Structure 1
């Protein structure tokens, strides 16, 4: 009935199937449940025997056969009315049930070894998607399919061909936070699939019935998806009787009416970018929704309004002027070849921090121009910086809140020196509340540059995410500015805003998205956005020459610059290969189109 009602008004209604959490199956077949090494269960929050949370099912048990039967039954039931299948809770924990132990032993894996259990859980996830995909395709080769894991990471590569599209579940007032979507979408948009941003109408997260997300927050979450070239969806949950709540759909409607007017501008566009951050997920999965090093890098670049992507080693790096390796990109042989290929085909630079650039033998690539000496036992320590950092940082020592490496220059220029504290803080020696004051230099560089590589010995990106020290960001910004020369975009927009530049070749148009919504921590448990704070007279300087190179299209003859929200023509001027104009007002979200 609900599907028919949707189809009557032209709305597609894919069918939702929960995979890992099925209370009916869990209650009737406890032998199908995942088990921890001590025999206890995995599940969602409060999931004990007498508790109301979901218990997680194991896909190496006969439950998988039941699931496949359920999928076939669902497809036959809906027949030609089926618009697609959304599979949720598609992950496997490091299970120690009898079925998993037997299969691990058959693969010569050790069930008592945690790393082997984690490896086998990833093998199981891939196997599960294969099994579901084959089941669906046997019934309907064209049925849209999405597997939801609550995140999109490089590990998706192994089953990417089985996805018809990507959906980025990201409710900022839940465990995802406002960090997640702007990070994940910059990776997902480069995977070659149509992609959708998914938020929810709830003040908190799923099933927070009787709550309503602040309108400003819902605007930002949907508009940011549009700005990144994504579709957008706002999730809700029906009551058991199938009714919908008027207040909810008045809220959703007030936002979707704006989306309806604005979604066409970025549809079919491509991001104009010149920097790439290499995703730490190619090394290992983070236990957090967003790896801290990746989050710090995204925040640093976004706050300065650089135009950038997030990439893995299977993507083309050639178009980027700068590749950033944040904190923990240990080089495999494949990554070494990728970097050498990048150096051979481009004149681009690499910015690496902490362990990035080391291989498994703790040796840096020769292009780094440094040697590895070991871990720095002083945490924290201090740095004093010179060269391009002079006159931009405080004229004194800068504390480095993180574990660093000891390196020695082997051809690289030293841009900063380590100064240690008087002593390492411990129970015998401590000075006031935190680290001891600065002592003397030990001759260890904390920042270097070679012909192609800039390097910092500390994990500046994770340190910025953890500590928010402005000078960490300023140092990275100075390096980025030097590497880029003239960036594609400069602006006086404050760091609280977002700017995303896209290109639509078919329409002969650049699309500049400007957003200004400020998440606030007003509550203990979550961030939200309550008000729209307008900005006025936002200056934009676009490098016509560099944009033309990035998109392989000459845009030197601009025909018009228009602010979409008020349908206003904006005056502009071209000067020294730069296009300059001022956006009079950004009231939440403004789109500026530039016809060439």
Structure 2
């Protein structure tokens, strides 16, 4: 049994427990003798339990007035949960809410953040709609919370970790914030200065609370304090405050199925232990009576594992203190599969050949460019990380710079050094020009001539597309006019419509048909440099033309002709690679989501794979190839430095394990 105080968790539950003051009988049915058993049965090794919820109520033995009024005077609920979980060998990190605290907002309304019209900031609407008030961390509330944190970590030391929630940068126009801004030399009337002060204030309280928690950690702790609700792209700076990372992302709760593949690939190069939370909820947090389909739970947990993270599922503890059996049937089914897979990737590191260079100031939401890149690269079976410009690029073979990344002089210098060292660079759309308006890199395979006058053009190729289609395909974005330089390999050129669609010059419903084919280059390849003269990733995200993805794939093939993985099968198949101590593991994920409400994608079934060829670049002939966790031996062909197998499985997640 692992030591629950030091082992980094692999299969966790975040046990939400937000109870308003009108909820009675808090913990009335809690039984320390049986509390941990549902988690044991579901293969859970860590449960985050609550000291303080969004209502500002406390759930441990304390004389503080914030103690929940429905908690019996003789019940120390948090202590009972921690002791029961530890007795079962399960970690019990402790949760406290930060900027959301309804008790403090009611008792001390002067501590609530104010917007620039001096109105209280509230998540959820007006004064007469349900929602959370947001506290001002420049007010005395910061000291109030410090007292609560200190009391908790002193009472429960050594703690398994502390989860501090609702920690975004919150601008405020309160007198507390105004005073702090003036001391910092910032101007309260300037919205940008209010945002700067909010970031500075957040980093100050993060350092303060981190120091409180660190004193209560065991010497060999791998998990410390986590500040939730902050953009993971901030971790380029904030990772120095942390021992570990947690990624919250419920696909059905507003995050979507593109969020985790983007953020996970940004976080994992930092090298910090990382776990990710999905949820058992049909929609989002607090959906107490909602249960997502089992296939969706299985998919999301398997995807977390395949991306090199450890697993977490959000649940909610009913007020009377007994875990929901139905929830742990769902969670246990997914976690037992993950547990069976873990030995094959233990000690492993995710492998990536392509770096997608992004601006971390854009935050966690990838936007159209990032969304298009993630979807296209996944569908092309490319192994990639998402990295900020400050990253060391030397470990990658190709860097893709999407249209939303500004090529500053510093980025230009890094890309030139990477290219000079033998790497390939793909520049898409606006990234072809630096922040100074000049070409982003020397020796581009094209000359640039400024934006086209046509807002909609067509992709022209001399030959057919992969499926045999012989046609010019619409590209509904304005390209940059570009001409090929000598020696460039042109993959596609621009065809123009007969006329542009304006109020007085239009033909047809959407755009005019193809008119003239031009010599303007859309995609060209030079010496390990690819120029894509339009915002192709944004177009793919918005419109989903498979030919746009295929065009990017051809460009990558030109500079990365021997990718780590090749795989057939359906386009939705996700492949990721982990290098373990004595094997290389190729994850295969085959689930399909469908849009079933205006805003909800659901997964109901695994999609079988039948005779799908999977090829891995290897340095030598493997000693054995097997499909796990089924334990099936696979016939392998080894030629030209590649090991190839055919996979048939009805499971949504399987692993091709290639032993050295």
Q: TM-score, normalised by structure 1?
A: 0.90
Aligned to 2:35: none
Post-superposition offset of 1:139: 5.1
CA distance in 2, matches of 1:394, 1:112: 58
- Superposition map of 1:59-78 within 5 A: 59-78=137-156
1:538 aligns with 2:616: no
1:126–1:478 Cα change, 3 Å: same
Partner SS for 1:341 = helix
The answer to whether the 8 Å contact 2:445/2:530 transfers is: no
Aligned to 1:515: 589
Q: Determine which of 106, 118, 125 is the counterpart of 1:39.
A: 118
Post-superposition offset of 1:199: 1.0
The answer to whether the 8 Å contact 1:326/1:352 transfers is: yes
1:241–1:310 Cα change, 3 Å: same
CA distance in 2, matches of 1:60, 1:428: 57
CA distance in 2, matches of 1:224, 1:210: 25
Aligned to 1:349: 424
1:426–1:127 Cα change, 3 Å: farther
- Superposition map of 1:192-591 within 5 A: 192-281=271-360, 284-286=361-363, 289-345=365-421, 347-364=422-439, 365-385=441-461, 395-407=470-482, 413=488, 415-440=491-516, 444-505=520-581, 508-544=582-618, 548=619, 556-591=620-655
The answer to whether the 8 Å contact 1:412/1:448 transfers is: no
Post-superposition offset of 1:394: 5.0
1:375–1:23 Cα change, 3 Å: farther
CA distance in 1, matches of 2:277, 2:249: 6
- Superposition map of 1:122-133 within 5 A: 122-133=199-210
Partner SS for 1:402 = coil
CA distance in 1, matches of 2:328, 2:97: 25
Post-superposition offset of 1:590: 1.1
Post-superposition offset of 1:299: 0.8
Q: For residues 281-333 of structure 1, what are the alpha-carbon distances to aligned partners after superposition, in whole Å with 9 as ceiling and x for unaligned? A: 2xx324x7332211211111111212222222333322322110011221223
1:509–1:417 Cα change, 3 Å: closer
CA distance in 1, matches of 2:373, 2:521: 22
Post-superposition offset of 1:65: 1.5
- Superposition map of 1:20-169 within 5 A: 20-44=99-123, 46-80=124-158, 82-138=159-215, 140=217, 144-150=223-229, 152-169=231-248
Aligned to 2:269: 190
Q: TM-score, normalised by structure 2?
A: 0.82
Which sits farther off after the overlay, 363-372 or 197-206? 363-372
CA distance in 1, matches of 2:580, 2:502: 59
CA distance in 1, matches of 2:591, 2:230: 24
Post-superposition offset of 1:559: 1.1
Post-superposition offset of 1:145: 2.8
The answer to whether the 8 Å contact 2:157/2:217 transfers is: no
1:524–1:533 Cα change, 3 Å: same
RMSD between superposed Cα atoms in Å: 2.4
1:451–1:33 Cα change, 3 Å: same
CA distance in 1, matches of 2:500, 2:118: 43
Q: For residues 96-117 of structure 1, what are the alpha-carbon distances to aligned partners after superposition, in whole Å with 9 as ceiling and x for unaligned? A: 3333334334444444443333
Aligned to 2:656: 592
The answer to whether the 8 Å contact 2:432/2:531 transfers is: no
1:260–1:419 Cα change, 3 Å: closer
Partner SS for 1:300 = helix
Which sits farther off after the overlay, 217-226 or 88-97? 88-97
Give the number of equivalent residue pairs: 577
Post-superposition offset of 1:434: 1.4
CA distance in 2, matches of 1:107, 1:422: 59
CA distance in 2, matches of 1:542, 1:28: 62
CA distance in 2, matches of 1:187, 1:233: 18
Post-superposition offset of 1:5: 0.9
Post-superposition offset of 1:246: 1.5
Post-superposition offset of 1:168: 1.2
CA distance in 1, matches of 2:523, 2:95: 51
CA distance in 2, matches of 1:289, 1:151: 12
Partner SS for 2:557 = helix
Q: For residues 84-138 of structure 1, what are the alpha-carbon distances to aligned partners after superposition, in whole Å with 9 as ceiling and x for unaligned? A: 1011111123333333334334444444443333333333332232222233335
Post-superposition offset of 1:465: 1.0
CA distance in 2, matches of 1:35, 1:407: 50
Which sits farther off after the overlay, 359-368 or 457-466? 359-368
Which sits farther off after the overlay, 175-184 or 396-405? 396-405
Consecutive unaligned residues of structure 2, counting only runs of 5 or more, are 1-79
CA distance in 2, matches of 1:255, 1:138: 36
CA distance in 1, matches of 2:156, 2:501: 67
The answer to whether the 8 Å contact 1:278/1:312 transfers is: yes
